[in-house]
Structures are given as structure tokens and as C-alpha cells.
Structure 1
Amino acid sequence: MPQWGDRPLVGRDAELARLLAAVDRALEGRACAVLVAGDAGVGKTRLLDELAARAAGRGLRVLTGHCVDLGDVGLPYLPFVDLLRPVTGEPAVPSAAAPPALAGLAAGRAAGGVRELPSGDAADLGRPLSPRPLVDDGRLQVFESVAGVLTELAAEGPLLVVLEDVHWADRSSRDLLRYLLARLTEAPIVVVASYRSDDLHRRHPLRPLLAELVRMPGVERLDLAPLPDAAVGELVRGLAAGVPDRTVDDVVVRAEGNAFYAEELLAAGLAGETLPMGLTDVLLARVEQLGAAAQQVLRVAAVAGRRVRHELVTAVSGLAPAQLEAALAEAVHHHLLVVSGDGRYRFRHALLREAVLADLLPGERVRLHATVAAYLAATPGAGTAAELAHHARGSNDLAGAFSASLDAAAEASSAGAPAEQLQHLEAALALWTAVPDAAARAGRDQPTLLLDSAAAARTAGEPTRAVALIRSALALLGPDGDPVQQARLHYRLAQALARIEDQAAAYRESSRSMELVPADPPSPVRTWAAATHARTSYALGRRAEADAAADEALAAADALALDSAWADTAVSLARMRGGGDRDAVTRRLEEALVRARRSGDTDVELRVLFNLAVVPYESGDVGATLRWVDAALARAAELGVEWSFYGAELRHLGVSARYVAGDWDGSLELAEGLARVPEMAAHVRAAGLLVQVGRGDASAAERLVWARGLTARLDAHVLLLLATAGAEIDLAAWAGDAGTAAERARAAVRQLHTHWDVDRLAALRLVATALAPVGDAAAAARVAGDDAGVRHWVALGQELVTLASSAVDDHLRGVGPLGVEAVAWRARVEAEAARLAGRADPGPWRAAVEAFGYGHVYEQARSRWRLAEALLAVDDRTAAAGELRAAAEVAARLGAAPLRSAVTRLARRGRLDLPGTGRVPAASAVFTPRETEVLRLLAQGRTNRQIGAELFMSEKTASVHVSRILAKLGAGGRTEAVALAAARGLLTAPAS
């Protein structure tokens, strides 16, 4: 186990708040107590450490005592000896006679007037006390003395008493705790005691005490539930930097909210282990405390599954009914098994089951699997096909496992679970060669089973896996195989390749499919081959070839009543021949939707729904887009195909459309809404980066590291590239890093050109965003008189403008007119280009504001900010103030902190009053007239000698003025002083 640094406290805000509320009551002079319950490893100690630190920060004295598991020979009062040791000055390591430390308390506190503990036998708490006429065997004096010491300490200041692991407390300590909570009701003392709830079996001695304590006034119980998955992920990333997402996901799933397990699993994952030996030992130690029959029940339950019916345990365990009942009761009472609401038994934690399984001998495991499989096969309704397949494989019954896997795949398909369907189909494929009559059992040949598996992979959002499976089927079929079957595999492969952005390969595969099957007579395979070829040809700009294939597919689909093929082809034609008539295109798509639903082809149905959402988006109707997206996502969830290609595209469109509409919370929620996101749908999550960057969220940089790594691995994933590059450029732009912004834009546009040769208008957004800091850098160079810098930044900016112009020209030639979003971004590029050239022209910026008025709330506000800057340059202060107020309102509503700061800085530079930013002082209120003249020359890069010469003063006098300017601005140097003065609107012409 590596030695981690400080363990972050995650997922415990509510619990910490409750504990701090108890601390606040102590600060107000009231006593209270909190009993903190939670399973071993759930994070009790870390929470109490944080509480202690926070309480100390609020002025409380903190005393902490720990109970230790010493079995039946535990030292009495050990936790109280521990917590009072700092008061008494006792050694850090107690001797075997540790309890007399309480007697030492008398000497340690006597000078302060605290009552002494009794001497003699009563003082030696390690031996039986002599009989005394006192309540409770003479211990009252001891209890009262401890209470007195704590009261005296509390009189000096509020006190936090922490007792950890009281499930191990000895009887005397438990009795003393009961006494203190009843006695200390008036002092400013908060007592917090923690214990393991999973250790409290039915006869545990702490149980009756807890039942009594929670009935006392001022005593409350706090249950620590397992951490949420998100908190475990945060914990893992906080423990070790750069942990791969797959490792994080694995730890989150297996730890089930237990912080200790998460740490151990992370250490094991980084070391390449499966289940850490230390963790296995911890888990098995609890199992070994049970009797032989109870351990046998746990072994049966471990093999049977995480949740197991009573009937199955009865059938497999071989125990007599009475013996079985007693064994189950023992396992339940020791919190190793839990009874679910449906009456099944389940392990309290999955890792406990893993440990029991790992401890089984190979022969015993095979025997138990065989017994469970036989019971499931002979008992209808006793389990699922997936369970039978698992146990058949575990018992080496490969033929039975093959058949059960196919049945399990069918069940998963019916339940709308494509990922599980794929898992079971691939399990059957792995067994194919080991089962002599596999084809007869499957009712199909191996290439067909591979094709079915590929379909499941596509639906599950694993298109790369689908490509591999179809290629395996083609290789198995060979060049001499049935032409019709070959053609089907080729067009399916073309469809899968198109979804991983390999359009050239997709075109080759659809062409090959067309060659294998004649057009006459029409056939379903030829019809789908033509429909697919139309799509791949359109993607490469082969319009004539695409039109011919589409016309053939549409006619054949009509003749053969192939509704899904007709709908798919109608979408292609509507999008390519719509001619900008939105209503006509929508009507055609709605007709296609009816046919797609009638056919039952969910993939085509989602393609139609996606295009019905895209059409209004392209015309600037973001509201209509969101209505279609919401309806389509609900339909995808209903069908269980949320991460199919078009299911993911619809979610991505929803994230983007909500960002554009100004619903940034909704955008983030949609981007982060589901835990499982296939790699090929990573662009959905990455699209949320624009909101994080726009808000100045510090976590954006960490998320970008993840996105960059995934982009490098999935080189052809263009939408992921665009989401990542767009966020990176925007982040660099707000940081004023013009070089990074420009380089990232150039690299992204080059990659975009590789994959989307003609239709690459996304370059406009990347270039426009990168031009902003480049223009700023050019403007700064002009102010500083840096001619070389001006030439450098202008040349770099012009290169970016050329990239944008090329993308527009290619689109107009190869695709058609620009949509409203592209028009807006082109206007932004033109406005940035004017600023780059040093022209303070409000016209281009006003055009950008109007263009983004179609519904892009944030970019319109950002354009207003730049328009205000241009208006100030031409001294139209009234109009500039209006634009800034509008931009500030949007920035505040969206939580767009960087834009809000930029608007505020501009208002100060222009000495404009902006609500919420305070009044801007005039330069004359800050600097003397002479200092104002010196500051103006400082901004021009003059030395002290040059300033003195121009203003007819000595170099020394100029130096004094410069020093005063730096002091007033709080600047560390001349360059910083100029920057601060400009940002605060103090860099003005000299007073007349």
C-alpha cells in the first residue's frame, strides 16, 4: 500500500455540518453528544480528524481517546486514559498498569484546585476495588472525578471529547461514558463517540448502551452511509495524480462507497494486483470468526452470486434445515450477510464475496458451480439465463454455457440492455470452437452470430468493436462465400466505419457491396447496399454517385415495402436536396419517422429524430431543437439505446444547444448525467467543458487533461477533437495566452481538414476564439511601440483568418449556403480581423452582435463587450455603456466569471459606471498631473532618463515619480504598473 499524502475529505459535507453544529452549541455554552456509526473503512476517522481540526480552529480544546481491540483482557478505562494523557502529562506509551494514569490526574491537576481521586484500592483501577458503601461497586468516585476534571477544563474554554471505536470499549469505559453523558449536561462540552455498526452483532454489549444513550436529551446519532460514486472518484483522483479513468471507474464500482477499500483497491490497481492481500486478510478475518456451518453458507452464497435465494442455499449447502437456519442467522447477525427487501441474502459488501471466492479451493469451486447450475436448470424461474451460463462455465459445462449465453443475450435484448447483450454474445463466440454442435444450438452460422454481435456493439455505443466483429465475419466467410451474405457484411461494415469517421474506407466497403449484388431484380440486401452507398458517397462529396444510389434505394424500398430502408434514404435525400426549405425538409423527415417506427428499426428512428432536431438548430431555432432533443432522448431511454451512435449524438446536440441558449446548468447536467459513457461518446462529456471554461471553473483544466489524452487515443473522433480544442482555445484566450490559443487552433483545423475535407465550418469557431487573444497581443505590442511584436501577431492572426476563409469557400462550393451559426462566427472572424489590423471600427462588431442574436446568448454578450471597446475608441461612451450593461447582465446570469471580469475592467478603463462594479475614480483623483504625464511615458516604454529629458526634469526626479506611481498601484515593476493602470482606467492623456 503506497503512503498517500493528505487524504482529501470528500462526500461528507452534510455530516461535517451536523458535527460542527454540535461544536457551535458547545461554543454557546451547551453540552451535547453525537454517536457516529458506520461500517469499517467508511471514513469515520477521517471525518473526526477534520472535525477536530475545525473545532480547534474555532477555539475548542480537543481531547481524543482511542479504544483498542484487546479481546476479553482489555485494560479498563483505556480510552479515557488516552484522552486525559495530555492533561496529566503521562508518557505517550502507557505501561501495563495504564489505568493508574487516572490517579496521576490528581497530582497533575491538584495545584489547580481539582479534587483528587481516591487513594489506595480505589486509585488502582487495574485491580478489583475494595467494597465501599457507594453506588455501582464504588466506582462513583472515579466517575465523578473524571467528570470534575472535564468540567474544570471546560471552564477554561469549550471542550471537544472524541472517543473512537467504542465498539471495542471495555465495560468500565462504557459505564463511564454513560455516566458522563448523563452528568455533563450544563458544561460547554461536546462528546463525539464513533463505532463500527457492522461489528454490532445481536449480542454485542454496546447495543443496549446505544439504545439507552440515544434516549438521553442532547444525544443524537449520525449514520455514515457509503460515499456516493462521485465522491469515491474524487477521493481516488485526490490520492494519486494522473490515475487512468478506467482505474478510477473500477475502484468506484468495487469499493461501493468504502473509503478504505477504495485506497486499498487503488494501490492494488496501480501495482497490477486483483484483490490486495492485506484487504483479503482483513475481510476473511471476520469470516473466520463464524462457525463451520456459517462459513459453508458463505461459500455457497459467494459462488451463487451477490444476491441469493433461500431455496438455492438450502438446495446447495447440504445442511439440515435447523443447522442451515442457525448458520444463516449467525452470518446475518455478524453483518456478513444482509437480508434484502425481496427476501434474498446478499453480502454486505461485494469485496467480502470476492475474498470468500478467492479462498475457495479450485475443486470446491467447480463442484459448487455444478450444483448451482443443476439446481437452476431443473427449477424453472429459479434464475436467469445469464446466471445459468455463469455457473455452467464455472463447472466446465461448455456446451451448456454456450446455449445459456445465447439465451441470456436474447433476454438482454428484450430488456433493452445492448451492452449486456454484447457481453453474452461474445461469451458464446468464445465457446464456438469448443462446442461441436454450436451452429445447431445457435440456429445460425458463425459469421451471422458475429454480425449479430456487431449490431449489439453498435447499439451499445461501441462502433470500433462493431468494426472488428464484422471484419472477423468477412475473414471467416472468405472471398468464395455467399455473395449475398458478403454484400450484407460489406454494407454493415461501411455503416460502422462511417461512425468512427473513416469515410474513405466506408465508401470502399459500400462500393464493394454494390458490386456483389445486382440491382435487378430488387432485393433487400441490394436496397440497403444502395442506401448505405448514398450516405458514404455524399460524405465524400460524390453527389452524382450518391444521388443515383439514393434514387435506386428509395424506389426499391417502396417496391419491397422496406420501411426502414425507405426512411433511411429519405433522410439522406431530404438533407442533401432540401434546398433550404425547412418546412419541406421537416415534413419529409416526419414521414420518414412514421415509417421508421412502423419498421421497428430503432437505429433509423433515432437517425430521423436526430435530423429533426438538427434542422431547426441550423436555422437558429434553438428552442425547437431542444424540444426534439428532449423527446428523442426520452425515446432512446425507452428503447435502451441511449449510447448508440445517434443516441449519443442527440445528447451531444442537447448539451451544445443548452449552452447556446444560455441554460448552462442544464447543459452541464446533460453532459454529466450518466455514469457510464462509452469512449466513442466521450464528446458528450467533453462538450460540457465550454461551460466550465466560461465560468472560470478551476476543475476545467483537470478535465481538459482527460479530454486531451482521449483525443490523442481516438485520433479520428472529430467531435471530441472539436469539443476539446474549443475549450482549450477558450481557456488560453481568457488567460491571455495568445501563442497557445493560436497553435491549438491551427492544429485542430489541420486535423479537421484531414477528416472532414469539405464540410469543416467548425474551423470558424476555433479561429474566431483564438483571434481574440492574438488581437489583444497585437494591441499591447502597439501600445508598447514593439513593431516586431506587432508584425509577429498580425502575421499569425492573418494565417488564422486564411484558414477560416478557406473553410468557408470549400463549404460554399461543395455543400451549399452557410447556416445562421456559421454566419455569426464568420462575422466574429471579420470583426477580430479588423481589430487585429488596428482598426477601431464598431461596424463589424455590431454585425457580430446582430448575427449571434439568433439565440447564442453567451457569444452575443461576448461580442457586445468587444463592441463596447470599439465604441469607446471612437468616443461613443453612451452606446458603449449600454452594450457593457447588457453583457454584464448575461455574464452575471450565466455565472460567466471571466467575461464579467473583462466587462468590469473595460468599464474601469473607460471610466464608465457599471452597476455592481463601483464608481471609477478619475486619474486626477489618484495621480498628480506630473505623475499622470510620467505614467503616459511609462506606457510608451520610456526609460527614466528619457522621461526626464522629455519633461525637463532630472533622471533622479523622474525615478522618484515612477516609484510613487508603483507604490500607488501596488505594482512590482514598470510593466505591471502600466497594465494595472490600463485595467483600472487610469492610463489617460496628461491633464491640460
Structure 2
Amino acid sequence: MPAWRLRSTTKADEGQLPLVGREPELGKLRAAFERAARGRAALAVVTGPPGIGKSRIVEEFGRSVANDATVREARCRPGTEVGSSPLRQLLANTESDHVPPAIAHSAGLRSDPRLLALPTLDRRTEIQNAWHDYFADLSRERPVVICLEDLHWGESELVRLIDRLTLASGLRLMVLATARPEFPGMPLLRPSDDRLFIELQPLDQWSASALARAAGARDVDVGRAEGHPLFIVELARARGPAGAPLPVTVQAAISARLDELLPADRELLQSSSVIGETFDVQGAALLAQRDPPEVAGALGRLAHLRYVHPVDGHFRFDHALVHEIAYGRLPIGTRLHLHAQYAREGLRPDDVETLAHHWWQALGPDDAAWVWEGDPGREAMRSDAFRAHLAAGANLADRLSFDRTSEIFSRAAKLAANPVEAAQVEEAFGLACARNAKGDEATEHRLRAIELYREAGAQPPVRLYADTLDLPVFNWGYFQRMRTFEEVARLIDEGISNARERSDPASLLRLLVQRSVFFNSGEALPEISQLLESGADFSTRADALWRLALVHFTVTEDLDQALGALDRAFTLASTGAGFNLPEALMWRSNAYFHAGDLARAGADADRLLEISRTLSPHTRQHAMGTKARVLLGRGDWQGVIEQAENLRALVREYPDDSFCLIGASGVADGAVAEILEGRRASEDLAALVLRLVPESPAIRAATLLVPLVMSAREVAEDEAHRAYARDTPIFDRQSIWDLTETYWAIAHVVREQWKELEPLVARLDARAGRGAKFAGALAAALREEMAAARGGPRPKHELLRELGYDGISKLVSYRAL
């Protein structure tokens, strides 16, 4: 079908109706704008039932500040109509190539593999910070006002972004949103003095009469409308015969006005309503089966009569209720056929989210069974609909639009025609849950997918096992209820067996690494080495390689091999492989620290600190804890204390976020530094460590070991020992961070437990032979301390000091009072 460009439309003679009776509300909005213009970002939400005038007051306010502010407009809609997401609308007239990657990703302009490699909270934080920086730049010359309609249809991720942008952000930004009273996202908006909520009330008698006079020449019984602005306008515009009964509801008034139209114009409105509240001439002509020039003329007349109005080359129904009523008057069979026609002929194949919406409206309703009964094209439509839903769900999950993702995949499951298709939905849904940090749900969906593949007599994809196991092995913080050890072990063995049988080296590498970490066992290392030397393509598996370093940390205790795995992972990442850079930097800094290379450990810690500023609180505590460790090694006590204070402030700022042993270690290192500075350790130390690692008594005991021993206080020795035992589950294992048992070495020497120290020194010597220079230097210092206790010479700790570990030297020299 040829495309026709809309050049112009005629305007209604009466022009825009005046805004009456809303002066107090406008005054409040202007006051909020003035505060925002001074750098106090503001959010105003105008609520009320449909037709009460929410959009009208936003339109009037936007016009009033247009000369003083940059005004951006966006709309949220249920489902997906032709157009774009609210975030993409905020980028209107901006060249796609000039949009920062995180913003382009969140708006659905293009996918960012680097973002997808990040943990969910980091991805969310980076996207939010990118938008913050975008509006900071945009508001340098003059303030920005975002007019956002129908926020009640908005994704929770959009509401979180608005909350972030308008809560003590320092931006010259005002967000003015409309929402219905049942707006479900309200709890996501944190309380603040810069929040303004306006609930619109019906117009008073004087204002109602003024509006009626402005809307039409005939006398109107405004009492019938009870102050409802849209009802008043529809009554005033009605052209029925004198003395005809008046409609009793606004919906009835709109329906009566539709009846006044010529049948061809009424049918055009009704068929166009299938596209959505906003539509173009080409789509309207397609569904009306009329020529585009004819349709353009008809829509111009309808705009003159205030049924629709032109918007950026499209048309939009004059009110959401007008659209809803026009759509609702279509016979069900006609409606479903029009949705199917629009999906087949009116959309691009890559517009999968809109395709999914229209295919579901065509095939999803209960009436679809009889509407399509016996239709020879039904299976082809179902298949197209299924594929569109899978693709749409994946796109939405990548953008953290989890509410819509869940809805789309639930519909896809109903469209699945066999167990294999049902398994594909469960697998895709599991990935979406994983990318949104929902471990329990992700595992449930993935296990169900494996079960469905088996029901179909098909082998589950090997990658599905590896994807399922990533969470319980490496991301146990994503779970409310952890899977049992036996469940995880069985799944690991089953996945490895399948990977070997089906010759899938990439998945086999992941599964073998998972097994090694989970069991704390080196049994699979020979096979891992063979895989790495086989020439297989691991270009997309950089994360598996840096995770292999964790095996060498605690199993082989070979830092040369650990650093080799990390270097290989960083090399792959430099070629574009998906990679969790913040976590890899943290573990490489830790490896360098224990390998005796404080300079490189510090460089990675500094880089991690820099990039973590735009990431989640959890990753920021990784950076602070890593930096504190390096500073402790050097003996920069004030620097260690500063990082510990930063951690303490971070926890106060984010009371609901989860943290881990890295942050807890940083806090404990700060307490050690305080003691060495001649101060008492902070009184809240134990409570803070409990807040950081509430689920692991073993890690808490190991973390508190040194500061409690230095303070001559009681320690939980059995739990602390358990944190270093080989058979301890990874989520209770301190040894994955304290690779050289430094905490225990210091605890023994501070208490002069020379006998207990001897086997530990032997283990340090063994580690030194496998690349841990720091372990060798620490062992030499401990031997000097043991010799001095027996009357030998005063310790010098030359090896420690040559490597730059002055702080560890001072700690080894410390004795409990």
C-alpha cells in the first residue's frame, strides 16, 4: 500500500477551550516549577478519574512555561500502540547516535551488551545515573519540564527512574504526571517535601457553566454533569434534536456524539481505534479499506468536530474515553479480525512489542475460539503470535521492564502449542527473572523448562543447565529460599553429562567451573585445562574464565593460575565478549594483593572505585572493601578508616539493600586501623557486620576475628574456623576473600599462639610456591615473630616491607593487651 504524508489539517473554529476553575492547582504547579528552576527537582502528580481534566491542566501548564523551560512530553499506554515507549518519546528529535548507550538501551533504541553483563542492580543504577546526567546537561541553560500522561500505565522501572530523578537530585527538573486514583506505582515514590499530589475535584457551578458556554451555543443542564468537565463538553457539543433525553453518563454522552456522525466517519473512527489511541493515516486507511487521501480528508473533518486532533503527523483521539468507547462499539469478530490484519499488514516485522500486542488482541480473548473456528490461517497466526511474544518478552527483560515482561511471557505460554514451545517460554521467562535478580522465580521457570523438554522427548539445551546453575552457585543473594545442596549437585552432574554427550564445550566449561566452585574441588581442573587448550570458541564466555580464578583461589591455592584465568578473561572482554567488569576487577585486585603486587591491586581497586560510582550500592561496597584491603596492606590507616566510614554511610543511605562479606571486611579493616591509631574500635562494629552479612555466622565470626582479638575480646572461634574449611558451602566461605588466611595469622600472633601458628606458616610457604609472594613474605615475618618470642633477634619483616606491606608488618608486630 502506498504511504501518504499528512501535510495539514483544518482547525476547529472555536479553538482551544479555556481552562476554568483550576487556578489554585495551576498556582501550586507554578510554585513547584519555580523551586525546580532553582535546582530543587520536583515531582507533581495530578490524579482524578477519566475526564476530570488531568490532561487539560498539564497542557495548560506546559504552554505557560514553554518560554522559560525545555518541555518534553510522553505518554504511557496499556499494551502497546503504534508509537514508542515513554522513554523513547523523551528523546524525540534526538539523533540516535548521539544518545548515551545506557539511555539508548533503556529506551529500546539499541541493546548494550556491556549493560546486559552487569548484575541487575548495577544495570538499573547505571541507567538511572545516565538519565540523571542527560537531564543535568539539558537543564544547564534553562530548566526542564517533563509532562508525562497516564503514569498509572507506566512500568515500575519508569516510576523508579522518576523517583530517582526528582528526589534530592539537584536537577533543574520538574516532572508533571497524570494518573488515575488507582495508580499502583505510588508506593515506589519515596516521600519528600518536593513531591506534590493534586487530586482534581469536579468544577463548581460557575466554572461548569463557563465551560459549557465556551464549548457550545446550546443551553446545557450542567447539573446533569455534576461538575465533570468532559461530560459538560460532550453535552455542549451534542447536536441532537431539541427536547431529546440527555445522556446520564459521560460515556453515554460520547456514544451519543458518535451516533451523530455519518456511518462512514463513525466506522473510520471505530476501525482506527484498533490501532490505539494514536494512529496514522496509512494504518487507518488499511483497516477502513479506503484510499489514504480520502481518509486524510475525513480525519481532518473529525478533528474539526473534536473527535480527534493532529499530533506530529498522526492523529489522536480527543480523549482516552472517546477511544475506549469507539473501540468498545466494534463487534467482537470485527475487532479480532482487524487486530490480526494490522499485525499482518500494518507493522514492521521487527516491531515485536506492538506485534505481540495486536496478535494477543486477535487471538487471546475468550471469544477467539469461535471467531477463528475453522479458519485455515489460524495456526499460521498463532505461530507468528508466539514468535512475536518470545521476542517482545526478551526485549522488555533486557530493559528491566519486568511487569510487562511477565505479562508477555504469561501470554506466550497460553499461545504455546506443544511442550517444546512451552519449554521455550519457560526458558526465556527464566532468563528474564535472572536478569531482574529474581533467583527463586528464575530457577522455577528453568527447571520447568527442563521438565517440559523431557516430556516432549527432546534433550534440554545444555546452556539451560549452565544458566540455571549460575544463580545458586554464584548469585545466591538473589534467592529468598536457597535450593538444597543435593538439588544443585544433581543438576550440575546432569548438565555435565549432557554437555559431554552433545559436545558443547562452551557450556561444559561453565558447568565444570560451577562444579569446582560449588564443591570446592579441583577434580574437574584437568578437563577444564583440556577444554581451554582445545581451540574451542569461548569468546562469549569471559565470565566463566574469571570465575575459574575463584577455583584456583580456594582449591589449588595457585595464584599464578588464577591470574592467568583472569588475564585471559580480560583479553576476551577487550574483544567485545560479555563481561561483568566490576566483579572481575574486584577479584583480580584481590589476587594481586595476595600475589604480592600492591601496585596492581591498588590500580584495579581505584578503577573499580571510579566505575562503581554509577553502579549499585552493592557494587560500591565491593569497591570500598577492595580499596580498604589495599590501604590496610600499605598501612594507610586514615585511608582505611575513611573507606570504612564510606561503607557505614552507604549502609545508612540504603537501609533496604543487601551487602556481603567484602563490605563487612572493609568495615572490620577500618576497626583494625582505628585500634592501631590508638582509638577504640567503633561501638557499632558487630551490629554493622551483622547488617552486612546477616545470613552467615561463619563469615561474621571470621570478619570480626582480628579487631576482637586486638581488643582482647571473645571471638567465635568454631564459626571462624568453619569459614575457612574446605567443605564449607561457598556462601559461608571467608577463604574466598582471605586467600592466605591472613586474618587467622594475625589473630594467632596477636595472642602469641605460636603452636597454632606453625601449621599455618607451612601452608603459607606452600602457597608462596604457587605464586603468592605475599604469603611467602608473611610466613617469613611470622617465623621472625616466633623466633623473637623464644629470645631471638628483633623482627624486621624485610620481605613484607620490600613488597610494600608496611601495614601487615605493623599488624604482625601487634600484641593484645
**So what's the TM-score if we normalise by structure 1?**
0.39
Larger radius of gyration: 1
Question: Quick one: higher RCO (CA 8 Å, sep 6+), 1 or 2?
Answer: 2
**So what's the TM-score if we normalise by structure 2?**
0.46
Report which of the two has the higher share of helix. Answer: 1
